[in-house]
A and B are shown apart, each in its own frame.
Chain A
């Protein structure tokens, strides 16, 4: 043993302080979504780790080609089937793997396989067994992102724990509803472009265009009907496109929608100064509302709809937008109704307010159409 110690002392290589200079350790990446009895998602292993686990470098040249990896795919599937298990409350789920693809990550190429598991019962407690590379590289870990309903959790699989048990905390439908309702309300309040568009259409609602002049309406009823038409048309239109876009049935480039939304504000505001459309502003509201719907949807596509409650979340989000919009209408209408007979409203507030809105929107339009990289 004495000789051994001396032999070890010779290469003093690792004796320096903080010898730990390193690239990331070995990781498998797992993404799973739980829905009822099914678990679906993907699993990824570094190509280099696939080689270590099942061998892929058929010609031993130290380079793994796509052809070699494909030839190793059946072995990889068997290996994964042996080293990854899922069970719902102790009852094993049957896992299927989809065809292999390649995914590039920060430390190289990964073999990527879609996975789908069917469990005998609804998953409430997911028991994961993960022993990939355990005997060759005990520092390998499986990094799992698991979602159920609107709740996402992460876990580190492997290591000294052969199994990991995750409680599936499905967000209640009520929580989803409140969550998306709030996002909807917040979005209309923060989305000043939507508000300015609506405002531009509402400002003249307390007036009537007669012989080239604005005159105040005499009673509440015509003003109320005019507002109702505009708001309903706007709502109807943006609900249609919001739904289409959120369900990914239709997609428009964001630069286009953002630019047209800005343009819609310019047009609606200018229409108050140089009135072309006076009696049927609801049509403007509808036509441009279609585009504003795509704008609303961009928030949802960034957030993602919860897999278990897509429709609920969509409806809640839309209701949130309507609620926020209604609050604006209810706040603005009494004020401008009270002001409708004043000269200052017709001569100053309406034209200059509209001009200011048009100017601001024009700046946005130029920014979004010309400068924006998105």
Chain B
């Protein structure tokens, strides 16, 4: 009946009209979130540092941005730099900078394929997959052998679970791209459609010395995921660690590796792997899970940070981290119903094995076998092999 902790509600989220028991429930759960925010104040000294600027976020970049309005050969590398920064740091602001850089070049007729492909990459990063596909199709209309466009298209279609179309896109890489990249692309799709063992063997046999560093990291990432789906966690960890040596900024691989460690309850290893990446929500999520495994005193603060970030995304209407949010609700806040809702929303957007896993887990925790139906059907339809999913589909007819 009483909130036992002092409640400081920030003005922006101050509930004006709340009633009864709900009031306390709401305020008590708000406490950890709002505790992370202090009231407006005046810093004690002029020397106090309030922000450290990452590259490209300084006002002095304005002349470069101005130049990018006039010259495509400045705009493209600049946008590419921003997208790379977004990917390496997880800082979504960079996607906005990239978008602004490309904006003046978007309306050209005929359209500039390179601009469209970069724009599609930005849209994909925001999980606007359909919009990304339509930009890619526009690019390919103008330039049918644009390897980058085909590769990006394959990636987007794969995330959407449209494996046949994705494979077709991979095949279109052939004339322009390296044969090994084409093979990597095709085999990664085969690995999801009933040929996991064969695909794993083929990718493993690709001569990695011939590949670029990025393609080698990609190969490790695929091998790690495949080994994980085959149930060979030790091998998976080996691949992930090799891959991270080559591409330390690959957030996708790092979270995948952390998940593997967490599954083995190696929380200290997971925290070591993720330290320095706390500002990225998917990383922070794994850190909170690890800290809770360790019963660390830091868990509460990290959790509050994460909840605060999710709350802001929710208010913005962003769905970029819906999968992470579902996992947060399921594993940390232990609200299976809410987790299931988030997992279902996420499933409407993306259909990777991790999306299947969170949907199945949430459906089971919420005692809603019916909600797992679409996932189970998807798995059977495509012949997806993944030992992590097996415990959840056994009971389905």
Cα separation A258 to B1 with both chains bound (whole Å): 12
B7, B36, B96: residue with the most chain A Cβ atoms closer than 10 Å: B96
Chain B positions 65 through 94: 1 when the CB is less than 8 Å from some CB of chain A, otherwise 0: 100000000001000100110111111110
Cα separation A71 to B335 with both chains bound (whole Å): 47
A137–B93 touching, CB < 8 Å: yes
Is B348 close to A, CB under 8 A?
no
Is B155 close to A, CB under 8 A?
yes
Q: Considering only CB atoms, which chain B residue lies closest to A99 in the complex? A: B42
Cα separation A16 to B176 with both chains bound (whole Å): 19
Q: Considering only CB atoms, which chain B residue lies closest to A60 in the complex? A: B60
Pick from B58, B103, B308: contact of A57, CB under 8 Å = B58
A21–B215 touching, CB < 8 Å: no
Pick from A9, A12, A54: contact of B59, CB under 8 Å = A54
Q: With A21-B252, A70-B46, A152-B17 as known contacts, state yes or no: A139 contacts B92, CB within 8 Å.
A: yes
Cα separation A137 to B20 with both chains bound (whole Å): 42
Q: Considering only CB atoms, which chain A residue lies closest to B1 in the complex? A: A190
Cα separation A8 to B115 with both chains bound (whole Å): 11
Q: With A103-B38, A137-B97, A306-B16 as known contacts, state yes or no: A4 contacts B316, CB within 8 Å.
A: no
Is A196 close to B, CB under 8 A?
no
Pick from B62, B91, B250: contact of A22, CB under 8 Å = B91
Pick from A18, A51, A374: contact of B4, CB under 8 Å = A374
Chain A residue numbers with a CB within 8 Å of B114 are: 1, 4-5, 8
Chain B residue numbers with a CB within 8 Å of A60 are: 58, 60
B324 to chain A, nearest CB (A): 9
Is A83 close to B, CB under 8 A?
no
Cα separation A313 to B76 with both chains bound (whole Å): 59
B38–A62 touching, CB < 8 Å: no
| Stretch in A24-32, A205-213, A348-356 with 4+ CB within 8 Å of B | A24-32
Chain A residue numbers with a CB within 8 Å of B253 are: 16
B46–A302 touching, CB < 8 Å: no
Chain A residue numbers with a CB within 8 Å of B5 are: 373-374
Chain B positions 37 through 70: 1 when the CB is less than 8 Å from some CB of chain A, otherwise 0: 1111111011111111100011110100100000
A141–B316 touching, CB < 8 Å: yes
Cα separation A191 to B24 with both chains bound (whole Å): 13
Taking residues whose C-beta sits less than 8 angstroms from the other chain, chain A's interface range is 35 or more
Pick from B24, B36, B41, B283: contact of A102, CB under 8 Å = B41
Is B177 close to A, CB under 8 A?
yes
Q: With A52-B59, A65-B50 as known contacts, state yes or no: A140 contacts B96, CB within 8 Å.
A: yes
B7–A136 touching, CB < 8 Å: no
Chain A residue numbers with a CB within 8 Å of B18 are: 303
Is A109 close to B, CB under 8 A?
yes
Chain A positions 56 through 76: 1 when the CB is less than 8 Å from some CB of chain B, otherwise 0: 110010111111011000000
The 5 A-B residue pairs whose C-beta atoms are closest, nearest first, are A67-B46, A55-B59, A137-B96, A139-B96, A21-B251
Interface residues of A (CB under 8 A from B): 1, 4-6, 8-27, 29, 31, 41-42, 46-48, 51-57, 60, 62-67, 69-70, 101-109, 112, 133, 135-141, 143, 145, 147, 150-152, 154, 156, 171, 179, 182-183, 186, 190-191, 254, 258, 299, 302-304, 306, 372-374
Interface residues of B (CB under 8 A from A): 1-7, 11-21, 23-24, 27, 36-43, 45-53, 57-60, 62, 65, 76, 80, 83-84, 86-93, 95-97, 99-100, 103, 113-114, 117, 121, 124-127, 143, 146-149, 151-152, 155, 158-159, 176-177, 181, 212, 214-215, 218, 221, 247, 250-253, 255, 279-283, 305, 308-309, 312-313, 315-318, 320-321, 350, 352
